[in-house]
Amino acid sequence: MHNKEVLNLRPIGKIDNEIALKLSKFLNGVLANEFALFTKTLNYHWNITGPKFNSMHEMLETSYKDLLTKMDSVAERVRVLGETPISTIENFNRANTLNEINGEVLSTNQMIFDLFKSNIQIQ
């Protein structure tokens, strides 16, 4: 359960409907990219192997949990604007701009580099 103090949301007062819609569309794009990064991070968490397994596994778990918290905050900001956050795979896929690497077994270094590139892209 979140409250405005926890999320650091401030009452926005009256905001033009057109501006609220544009902001919500932008935030939903951020949400889609965060969801893609979350999924990618979770995938790598499940599939990481090698001598650094324990440390990488823990780091990836921390990362996907942090992303989940961030996604929740973004979705709540969309709600504050009076709009609905996207919440289906179809809509996430439509709004997502991150690249995926399908059907490949990646090394630990390739996974981390892919996550690095994706994080830079959504910053």
Angular region, 50: left φ>0, alpha ψ -120 to 50, beta rest: left
Task: Report residue 87 CA to chain centroid gap.
Answer: 12
Query: For residue range 7-36, what is the model confidence (pLDDT) as tens digits?
Result: 445 455 667 888 989 999 999 999 999 999
Q: Which long-range contacts (CB under 8 A, 24 or more apart) does 17-23 make?
A: 20/81, 20/82, 20/83, 21/83, 23/81
pLDDT band with cut points at 50, 70 and 90 for residue 74: very high
Query: Domains (ranges, CATH) in the chain?
Result: 43-98+105-123 (1.20.1260.10)
Token output for 119:
């994080």
Secondary structure letter of residue 9 according to DSSP: -
Question: Which residue did the predictor score with more confidence, 97 or 1?
Answer: 97
Statement: the pTM of the whole predicted model exceeds 0.75: yes
